[in-house]
A and B are shown apart, each in its own frame.
Chain A
């Protein structure tokens, strides 16, 4: 079955630094990848949609300059949290979709970001 690998699974960084999270589709080409953020005991909030070779589409209220998304290939999307602050501490999850189908969404295992 389709597998999405997300790395790292957890990271601790100092306030003001940047952190990059990778999301890879291992056995399929993902035309579209989605990035979600989840605060403790809350649901997943969609942050942005990225399509290979084009700019990401951000949800309302998500800062484009703070959360940089790059989808340079059909198997890799990255989310960079720039100038991280403690309030950016959260669980970040990516999802990849195979082709244009409405059913093939596969999720990564998530990244726990703690900014100190």
Chain B
């Protein structure tokens, strides 16, 4: 079952612009992670934010988490053509077998 919804489903911007992707989830989480997937490839872990954190940075990435709204956002600043990929949020449910459950994903296209 899917844990979250991502918004937008597809995003196309010009190189150099910032890209913001949002993720909402349904149940309580321990942490939330963001992954990138290039077309037809495996997943690359980008960043993890714990449930007691509100914001986290890693290079050009900025992630926020609002547990009251059950939502998270991923901001990529100064986008590059190489950032073109699908981005997924994923969360580990507090209850259960600690399964990593993915959102629907956002397909990001950076136009040169």
Question: Which positions in A face B, CB cutoff 8 Å?
Answer: 6, 32, 34, 36, 41-46, 49, 57, 59-60, 91, 93, 95, 97, 102-103, 105-110, 112
Contacts and interface: CB of A to CB of B under 8 A. Distances in A.
Given A46-B99, A109-B41, A112-B40, A102 B1 contact: no
B95 interface: no
- Interface SS, B side: strand
A10 to B, nearest CB: 9
Interface in B63-112: 88, 92, 97-105, 107
Contact of B102 (A44, A91, A103, A110): A44
12 contacts: A6-B42, A32-B97, A34-B100, A43-B88, A46-B99, A46-B102, A59-B1, A97-B98, A102-B31, A105-B45, A109-B42, A112-B40
B54 to A, nearest CB: 18
Contacts of B12: none
B41 A110 contact: yes
Interface in B36-58: 40-43, 45, 48
A105 B100 contact: yes
Contacts of B1: 46, 59-60
A105 B1 CA distance: 19
Nearest to A1: B45
Contacts of B104: 42-43
Given A60-B1, A95-B100, A43 B40 contact: no
A110 B92 CA distance: 21
Contacts of B43: 44, 93, 107
B102 A102 contact: no
B14 interface: no
B84 to A, nearest CB: 14
Contacts of B31: 102-103
Given A44-B43, A44-B102, A110-B41, 10 more contacts: A32-B97, A41-B107, A42-B105, A43-B102, A43-B103, A95-B100, A103-B31, A105-B45, A107-B35, A107-B42
